[in-house]
Structures are given as structure tokens and as C-alpha cells.
């Protein structure tokens, strides 16, 4: 029943391959709060997804709106979760995150030319499709956004830093993460030592180690960057 309501609710949205033909910038939004629907400058992209991406987006300040679904007395309602101006750099691939508790934020901006999160599948999405593999490999597969959201909630709910780190490390035992997910976990820690310990442990459990250098953005001190680099190089 819920699926039918979802389909009807989003039936009026428009799916297009690109926002501004001729531009080389692109935007992707990973949702840790379930499927979302997105509009860019009032252009609506249809099917709700937890990993939205659009290419050929015009550089500059774009007006982004994010919608989710809430059920009230058995009826599905589309609600606006975020609305604001987002700066899109020229010839860049912008990766953003949406979390209802933490809001919307830009995780990284990289020069266009490499596909950072998932292989390009055509149309307007880049996706984490498990049947197509991640970064071209058949396995392993990282946590889905729903699984990761639950994992992050449990980590964030711990009252002490030691418990927070212990729970975060437990999550690595049978799961794989993306570099972006590792960064999100690191940002929940209060101390640099916990961030560093988790970054070391998580390196062997990421599906995209070739861009693991990006976790250095979370560290506060250069010594942590250097220590993680030594740790990774010694393990090769």
C-alpha cells in the first residue's frame, strides 16, 4: 500500500537526464535519512532514491530542495526537508550528504574527470547498484544508506567516547564502508585519538581505498594525517 502511495505522490515529478546541457559540473546527494526526491532550480527529479545524482548542472548558486515522505493516518505526504542555495563550482563533481539530524552539507568538491562514488550508469543517476558492483568490482558491497544510518545512530547515541569508538569498531567486523561513510563516522568523535584509531581500523574495510586520503579532511592536526599515512604505508 505504501509503495502505491509513493508512486502516486511522485507521479507529477519530472525525470530528466541533465539539468543544463553543456555544463560539466555534477551534483550527488547521499541520504542517510531514507529515500529523497530533489529539485534543482525548480526542476524536479522523479523517483525517490537514497543516492541522487545529476550531471550537466550549471555552475553558480543553485536553489536545491529536498523532499521526503511522511505517513499521517495512513496517507503519504511529501514534506520539504531542506531548501537553500548551494554553490556549484565550475567543472567539478560535488558530493553532498543529507541527514535530518545534521542537515545538508557538502562532503567534497573535486575536479571533474573521475567518478568518485559509483560508476556512471547513464541517465541522471550514478547509483550504488549492488548487482553492478562498486567501482567496477563485483564485491565487496558497502553498507546501504539505511543500514549506515542505523549504524551511525547507534554510534552517536553512546555517552562516552570509549563506548562510541567500541561500537564503531564493532560495526567494521562484518561490514564494508565507503570513504565518505568513514568520514561521517569520524565526525561523530569528540577526540582526535578516537578519529585516528577508527581511521586506521576502517582502512582495511573500505571499498574505495584509492580515495582514502579524503578522510584527512576530518583531522584537526597534521600529526594525525602523518600517523595515518605511516600506518597505511607500513601495511602495504
Q: Hey, what's the cell of 100?
A: 535530518
What pLDDT does 54 receive?
85
Can you tell me the distance from the alpha carbon of 146 to that of 234, in angstroms, rounded to the nearest whole number? 34
Q: What is the pLDDT of residues 55-85, one digit of tens each?
A: 888 888 888 999 887 777 777 777 888 888 8
Adjacent-strand bridge partners of 30: 51, 97
Can you tell me the distance from the alpha carbon of 137 to that of 144, in angstroms, rounded to the nearest whole number? 16
Query: Which run of H or E residues covers position 44?
Result: strand 43-49
Q: Hey, what's the cell of 212?
A: 582514502
Is residue 8 pLDDT above 70, yes or no? no
At 3, is the pLDDT very low, low, confident or very high (cuts 50, 70, 90)? very low
Which phi-psi region, left, alpha or beta, contains residue 99 (left: φ > 0; alpha: ψ -120 to 50)?
A: beta
Of 57-66, 133-142, 211-220, give the lowest mean pLDDT range: 133-142
Architecture of domain 2-127: Sandwich (2.60)
Count CA atoms within 13 Å of residue 28 on its CB side.
Answer: 24
Adjacent-strand bridge partners of 72: 75
Of 72-81, 155-164, 191-200, 208-217, give the lowest mean pLDDT range: 72-81
Q: What is the pLDDT of residues 116-129, one digit of tens each?
A: 433 333 223 333 33
Sign, Cα dihedral of 28, 29, 34, 37: negative
Domain edges within the chain? 2-127, 145-234
- Centroid of chain to Cα 121: 17
Can you tell me the distance from the alpha carbon of 186 to that of 180, in angstroms, rounded to the nearest whole number? 10
Amino acid at each position: 500500500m505504501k509503495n502505491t502511495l509513493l508512486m502516486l505522490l511522485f507521479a507529477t515529478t519530472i525525470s530528466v537526464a541533465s539539468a543544463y546541457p553543456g555544463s560539466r559540473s555534477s551534483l550527488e546527494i547521499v541520504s542517510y535519512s531514507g529515500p529523497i526526491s530533489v529539485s534543482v532550480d525548480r526542476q524536479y527529479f522523479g523517483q525517490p532514491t537514497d543516492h541522487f545524482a545529476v550531471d550537466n548542472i550549471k555552475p553558480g548558486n543553485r536553489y536545491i530542495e529536498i523532499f521526503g515522505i511522511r505517513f499521517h493516518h495512513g496517507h503519504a505526504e511529501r514534506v520539504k526537508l531542506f531548501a537553500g542555495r548551494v554553490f556549484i563550482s565550475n567543472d567539478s563533481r560535488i558530493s553532498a550528504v543529507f541527514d535530518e539530524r545534521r542537515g545538508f552539507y557538502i562532503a567534497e568538491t573535486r575536479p571533474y574527470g573521475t567518478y568518485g562514488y559509483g560508476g556512471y550508469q547513464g541517465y541522471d543517476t550514478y547509483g550504488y547498484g549492488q548487482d553492478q558492483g562498486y567501482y567496477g568490482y563485483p564485491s565487496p558491497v558497502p553498507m546501504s544508506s539505511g543500514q549506515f544510518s542505523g549504524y551511525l545512530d547507534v554510534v552517536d547515541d553512546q555517552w562516552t567516547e570509549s563506548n562510541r569508538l567500541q561500537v564503531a569498531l564493532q560495526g567494521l567486523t562484518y561490514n564494508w564502508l565507503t570513504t565518505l561513510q568513514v568520514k561521517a563516522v569520524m565526525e561523530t568523535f569528540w577526540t582526535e585519538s578516537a578519529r585516528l584509531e577508527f581511521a586506521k581500523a576502517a582502512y582495511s574495510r573500505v571499498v574505495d581505498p584509492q580515495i582514502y586520503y579524503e578522510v584527512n579532511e576530518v583531522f584537526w592536526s597534521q600529526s594525525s594525517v602523518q600517523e595515518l599515512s605511516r600506518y597505511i604505508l607500513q601495511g602495504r
